[in-house]
Amino acid sequence: MTDLLELAGVSRVYASRRGLIGRAVAVRAVDDVSLRLAAGRTLGIVGESGCGKSTTGRLALGLERPDQGIVRFEGEPMPAPGSPVWRRLRARMQLVYQDPLGAMDRRLTIATQIEEPLVIHDIGNAAERRDRVAALLRDVGLRPDHAARHPHELSGGQRQRAVLARALATDPALLVCDEPVSALDVSIQAQVVNMLTDLQQARGIAMLFISHDLKVVRQVSHEVAVMYLGRTVEQGDPEAIFADPVHPYSRALVSAIPVPGARRRERIVLTGDPPNPADRPKGCAFHPRCPVAVAACRVETPALQTLPDGREVACHLAPGTIRKAA
Amino acid sequence: MEGGSVLRHGLPGEQLLPLTSADAVSMADTLVSIRDLRVAFGGVPALRGVDLDVRRGEAVGLVGESGCGKSVTWLAALGLLPAKAAVAGQVLLDGQDLLGASPATLDRIRGGRIAMIFQDPASALNPVHRVGRQVEEALRLHRGMAGPAARAEARRLFDLVGIPDAGRRLDTYPHEMSGGQNQRVMIAMALAGQPELLVADEPTTALDATIQAQILDLLRRLQAETGMALVLISHDLGVVADMCSRVGVMYAGRVVEQAPAGALFTHPAHPYTVGLLGALPDMVGPRRRLSAIPGGVPEPWNLPPGCAFAPRCDHASPACAAAVPALQPAGDRHLAACIRVNARAPEPA
């Protein structure tokens, strides 16, 4: 089976200037990341601010071009952003992000905004578009009377539903969701998460689900990648990774999530902040905060290795690779 | 106000306790007592009668979704709401009503006996002053310290809140520090007045998970070391479960359930609390479809009659619309504002 989306050894480097007269520094926002996503599946990407998860999403949509590596959509290399081929392809892949109010035009009605992608991609005549907008509103759980409203007249949850309806208008094969429920209250978040999984089942959409919220990612993902400072440190089955994380960073991240009702697990509290991506530590980027780092970690960047249970881990000390560190 | 002696703030143990009530024991135990607190903005109710006690040294969690009034409760209690807010009720600090207190009295209490920290430390700090100077200012205002003594104390506080290289960090500006470090500065500043109560309003919401774990750890340690009480306002049930011994759940301007943390999360009595817990994805065990609460929070200017949660409640009956349900016993130190609680056998005490 060909993957719908494939990122092969993808890197993205930004030039960042410190201060007004500072020298430009190369920041590797994404560093040698490889991901595959099959049709109808969800790949969750978790990690903290600055780990490169959002840049990965933009690379996946072809909004940015990688400096190294290649992005393939349906087996074909991603065309250059802005090119006519890419514009046509954009109907097949859509983006939903955290702030629905920022994603919408405040002066246009909900119906006009949901119809817009159909107009841009020249799908259907006026009557067909009207029917399609009505069907989309229904699919995302909005009422027909929401069509004539403006974004500020809707609640946060309703706005995110409207943004989703717009993203679904062209019947995309891929949805990149960047923190889609992070701004919503718990009870509304559950409604939108349920809707996303229902829509995926009904339409067979693949989702790249980017979030800092491990609980939500576990809920929606078939596979999950944990990122730290631009690199994937652990990737595989969400059940395995959240129940028994192997990489010391995944372990700390999972243990940092407080869960009501559960007995408090032993919490791994990391010291320090994540380093500045412009000032990446040598060797394993996690070693300055890692409670189990050994000498090799300061020198050699660990590559992803496959463990017996199928997951991939980039750690010198992961079981099965332990001899290397000794 | 009778101010001076009551408000004199020293080390724990030399506290003056103005015991006016005959019930001296429980008075001494209760630090802040909020009674029937009501707030309205332009006639629109934001708080509709909140009752809440905070005992000395305890950690109380306040949870609920946007607009439920969890932040407004404490902003009102400390006189931090804009003048257009109509505030009624009582907020007793050791028996002294803060709602009628003079601005001068409130100035001494805020940052002194009661300190507050917020979600976004970067906007709570002054961007054009070095962080050390900002902590020293708090020390001057609340403890009359100045010069080298204030500098030394600021440095001690930086050490206490775990800012590495404290001496040098005093001279940095907020923008030179990370979000986690700025929150530590805010906590250091809050500790400058040696508060008996720290109100932390979503203190870790803007922080990454591993930094959140650091700050929660710090708050827990400081609470144990200083014996101060903590009110933790959060939308995150996990954070509150982790930190607090007692939890209040708020909905549409009222406390709808109040219980010891263990009981609340294992035997929630109010349908809204049950709904919140069901809407939360699990970290372990089989994945299940989330049981979302249908609908949305009612607009404050368009509240349903009786129980505000009834339109979203699976168990609602016509009786729910008759009157706003009062908090009633639902177990040992467990209160819930639901008419069905009466019908249930209370859990064994």
Residues A170-227 pLDDT 10s: 999 999 999 999 888 988 999 999 999 999 999 999 999 999 999 999 999 999 999 9
Q: Is residue A97 part of a domain?
A: no
Environment class of A269 (CB within 10 Å of its CB; exposed 0-12, middle 13-18, buried 19+)? middle
What integer is the mean pLDDT of A229-257? 94
User: What is residue B45's predicted lDDT score, i.e. its pLDDT?
Assistant: 94
Final residue before a domain boundary, out of A128, A150, A171: A171
Q: What CATH number does the domain containing A284 carry?
A: 3.40.50.300
Residues with Cβ within 8 Å of residue B286, at least 6 apart in sequence: none
Q: Return the pLDDT at B285.
A: 84
Mean pLDDT of chain A: 91
Are A86 and A196 in a shared domain?
Answer: yes
Instruction: For residue B262, give the chain A residue with the closest CA.
Output: A261
**A20 pLDDT tier (thresholds 50, 70, 90):** low
Let me know whether A226 and A289 are in one domain: yes
Q: Is the pLDDT confidence value at A157 over 70? A: yes
> Sheet harboring A24-37: ordered strands across?
A24-37, A5-17, A68-73, A76-77
Q: Report how many helices (DSSP H) and strands (DSSP E) chain A contains, helices first.
A: 12, 12
* Mean pLDDT in residue range A14-41: 86
Do the beta carbons of residue A30 and residue A64 sit within 8 Å? no
CA-nearest of A288, A214, A247 to B209 is: A214
Q: Which residues pair with A226 in a beta bridge?
A: A46, A234
Are the CB atoms for B143 and B193 separated by under 8 Å? yes
Tell me how far apart the alpha carbons of residues A45 and A315 are, in angstroms, rounded to a whole number: 18
Residue A290 is encoded by which pair of tokens? 């890692």
Q: Same domain for A300 and A314?
A: yes
Same domain, yes or no, for A147 and A261?
no
Minimum CA–CA partner of A289 in chain B: B210
| Residue A242 burial (C-beta neighbours within 10 Å; 0-12, 13-18, 19+) | buried
Residues A33 and A164 in one domain: no
CB < 8 Å to A271, chain B = 214
Please indicate, yes or no, if residue A182 is contained in any of the structural domains: yes
Does the distance separating the beta carbons of B65 and A252 come in below 8 Å?
no
Where in the sequence is the domain holding A203, given as residue range(s)? 5-92+172-325
Classify residue A261 by burial, with Cβ atoms within 10 Å: 0-12, 13-18, 19+. middle
The per-residue pLDDT for range A47-89, each reduced to its tens digit, is 988 899 999 999 999 999 999 999 999 999 999 999 999 999 9
Contact B238 A253 (CB under 8 A): no
Cβ distance of A258 and B238 shorter than 8 Å: yes
Mutate to test the interface with A, among B176, B177, B185, B210 (most CBs of A within 10 A): B210
Q: Which of A139, A150, A136, A70 is nearest to A108 (CA)?
A: A150
Q: What are phi and psi of A95, to 5 degrees?
A: -120, 135
Residue with tokens 């007269």: A21
- Closest Cα to residue B135, out of B170, B163, B161, B181? B170
| Whether residue A200 sits in one domain with residue A271 | yes
pLDDT category, A279, cuts 50, 70, 90? confident
For residue B79, give the 3-state DSSP assignment. Answer: coil
Same domain, A55 and A123: no
Q: Does A141 fall in a domain?
A: yes
Of A122, A149, A171, the one marking the end of a domain is A171
- In a domain, residue A134? The reply is yes
Residues A108 and A79 in one domain: no
CA distance linking residue A304 with residue B181, whole number of Å: 32
Query: Is residue A75 included in any domain, yes or no?
Result: yes
Alpha carbons within 13 A on the beta-carbon side of B147: 0
User: Is B181 an 8 Å CB contact of chain A?
Assistant: yes
Provide the pLDDT for residue B253: 96
- Do A180 and A51 share a structural domain? yes
* Same domain assignment for residues A151 and A270: no
Q: B282, A218: Cβ pair inside 8 Å?
A: yes
Residues in chain B where the model's pLDDT stays below 70: 1-28, 342-349
Residue A278 has what pLDDT?
81
Cα-only R_g, chain B = 21
Strand pairing partners for B59? B230
Q: Is B296 on the interface with A (CB under 8 A)?
A: yes
Q: Is B159 exposed, middle or buried (0-12, 13-18, 19+ CB in 10 A)?
A: middle
Instruction: Please state, in angstroms and rounded to a whole number, the distance separating the CA atoms of residues A35 and A71.
Output: 9
pLDDT at B202: 94
pLDDT attached to residue A265 = 63
Residue A296 has pLDDT above 50, yes or no: yes
Residue from the list A157, A216, A260 with its beta carbon closest to the beta carbon of B238: A260
What residues have CB less than 8 Å from A182, skipping those under 6 apart? Answer: A98, A211, A212, A213
Beta strand residue intervals within A18-92, DSSP E: 24-37, 42-46, 68-73, 76-77
Q: Is residue A98 included in any domain, yes or no?
A: no
User: Which pair of tokens denotes residue B274?
Assistant: 């049950």
What pLDDT score does A262 carry?
62
**Co-location of A38 and A157 in the same domain:** no
Q: Which of A145, A171, A197 is the last residue of a domain?
A: A171
What's the pLDDT at A18?
Answer: 67
The answer to the question of residue A51 being in a domain is yes
Distance, in Å, from the CA atom of B259 to the CA atom of B249, rounded to the nearest integer, reads 9
Residue B46 CA, distance from chain mean position? 16
Q: Dihedral (C-alpha) B263, B265, B268, B272: value to the nearest 10 degrees?
A: 150
Return left, alpha or beta for B271; rule: phi > 0 is left, psi -120 to 50 is alpha, else beta.
alpha
Nearest C-alpha neighbor of B194 from the set B112, B117, B315:
B112
> Domain count of chain A?
2
How far apart (Å, rounded) are the C-alpha atoms in residues A1 and A74? Answer: 11
Range list of H helices, chain A:
53-60, 84-89, 100-103, 110-120, 126-139, 156-168, 186-203, 214-220, 238-243, 248-255, 295-299, 322-325
| A41 and A77 inside one domain | yes
For residue B312, report the phi and psi dihedrals to the nearest 5 degrees: -105, 0
Assigned token pair, A220: 């929606």
Dihedral pair phi/psi, residue B75, rounded to 5° = -65, -40
Q: Is B277 on the interface with A (CB under 8 A)?
A: yes
Q: Tell me whether residue A78 is in a domain.
A: yes
